[in-house]
Chain A
């Protein structure tokens, strides 16, 4: 693989072969920059880079771009999540260039949740691009120095390009091939949907290794703690693409209400340990919506702290 871009900590760590930890930050509903910093708060101490969601679940929040700018300014490494749901190709290419110009080094190219699951289902869905077209366009801007139209850029953007993968939904046997397609389109790294079904993940990785894909991109596995039986049920039924096996649901159900949070945390640590044993896994991506405070404990228990170059104070 190529040399990493100077100053890109995430890329450097991945290329040096160390397990990385990324964590998801949800931009708040506020025009106060302090709220943005608070949202990143503790997560920045325990993660190598922070993913900033782009109106996740099609709900309005501070834009991913503005949040990333603020976090970059105070020295956090960010992964700008960019979806095709709200912007057309002109806006997306402008944002890719804009991201690089303000110092954002990592971009995660996504299709995006549909508007119907958000708080404003009346909105017009754009989807002028899909995630693969966005990736390929970003790659040609970076590597060939051209816009989609072929018009030249005087300085191409320096971006480490990411894509999402979901091994846990149908058609299962196609999912590894879809990963290959994303790599061909330009993905340098992959972040997966929540992994609760380790068995399925292992089958997926087996095929990924057969195809040699783990050598062509860095695979970061999505994990997260379940807060309660109720929130597990919500995640499973309301969030598209999240699969939680019956075994885990039963474990949550069996646990008394007051201990469910602890159990969810325990399950998360177990899953992390199991996926990190899998050959070809480059790191984990923690999505702990409204549970950001326990991410440090989870990573500590999984033996992933302290992070390189960071001090972890419990």
Chain B
């Protein structure tokens, strides 16, 4: 379990940190490309895993979508849903599969509506996971997909703004 999991109840701070890290990686991209994405991926895997595990209980899918899912890791949903809650949420907002656990997606939604930067991304349709990226650094994968044209199987489409 995430030791610093309580931080997730402050999605506003988390999205700002996410944005900062994202910008930092984009700034460093030319350098990372020169060093080689594969090499940087190997260096980053471990620290990225630790950092994201203590806060988000990260499962290292390699395709981080936290900012679009209320800074709540969708891979902690027992059904690994990427596009919102299933129809089995219990009346106490608990999970259909694990009755003792809060529904990950109810939490994600409640946090997303408090997020100013990425909150509306909750409504975008998330592509199926590329299982080949499991275990690798999501930040490096993001840069690779933008530069090398490594296909992300299916580009996510932005949802219409609904609220």
Contact = CB atoms under 8 A, between A and B. Distances in A.
A in complex with B? yes
Interface string A161-199: 000111001110010011011001100000001000000
Given A113-B88, A114-B96, A241-B87, A180 B162 contact: yes
Given A180-B160, A185-B125, A241-B96, A171 B87 contact: no
A201 interface: no
Contact of A148 (B87, B89, B91, B153): B153
A19 interface: no
B162 to A, nearest CB: 5
Interface stretch (A123-131, A255-263, A264-272, A283-291): A123-131
Contacts of B86: 111, 131, 241
Nearest to B131: A128
A127 B79 contact: yes
Interface in A95-123: 111, 113-114, 116-117
Interface in B80-98: 80-91, 93, 96-97
Interface stretch (B10-18, B31-39, B102-110): B102-110
A241 B127 CA distance: 25
B11 to A, nearest CB: 15
Interface residues of A, number: 36
A240 interface: yes
Given A114-B78, A177-B163, A184-B159, A170 B83 contact: no
B52 interface: no
Given A127-B81, A130-B82, A177-B123, A240 B159 contact: no
A243 interface: yes
Contacts, number: 104
B87 A170 contact: no
Contacts of A132: 83-84, 125-126
B30 interface: no
Contact of B109 (A149, A171, A180, A211): A171
B135 interface: no
Listed residue (B81, B86, B106) with the most chain A CB atoms within 10 angstroms of its CB: B86
Interface string B118-131: 00000101111101
Contacts of B82: 130, 133
Nearest to A132: B83
A128 B78 CA distance: 12
A211 B162 contact: yes
Contacts of A243: 91
Listed residue (B88, B91, B109, B131) with the most chain A CB atoms within 10 angstroms of its CB: B88
B79 A125 contact: yes
Contacts of B160: 180, 184
Contacts of A178: 84-85
B91 A170 contact: yes
B109 A174 contact: yes
A85 B90 CA distance: 19
11 contacts: A89-B128, A111-B86, A125-B79, A130-B81, A148-B153, A148-B154, A165-B87, A169-B89, A170-B103, A181-B123, A184-B157
Interface of A: 89, 111, 113-114, 116-117, 125, 127-133, 136-137, 148-149, 164-166, 169-171, 174, 177-178, 180-181, 184-185, 193, 211, 240-241, 243
Q: Which 7 A-B pairs have the closest CB atoms?
A: A240-B88, A166-B87, A132-B83, A240-B96, A241-B87, A169-B89, A114-B97
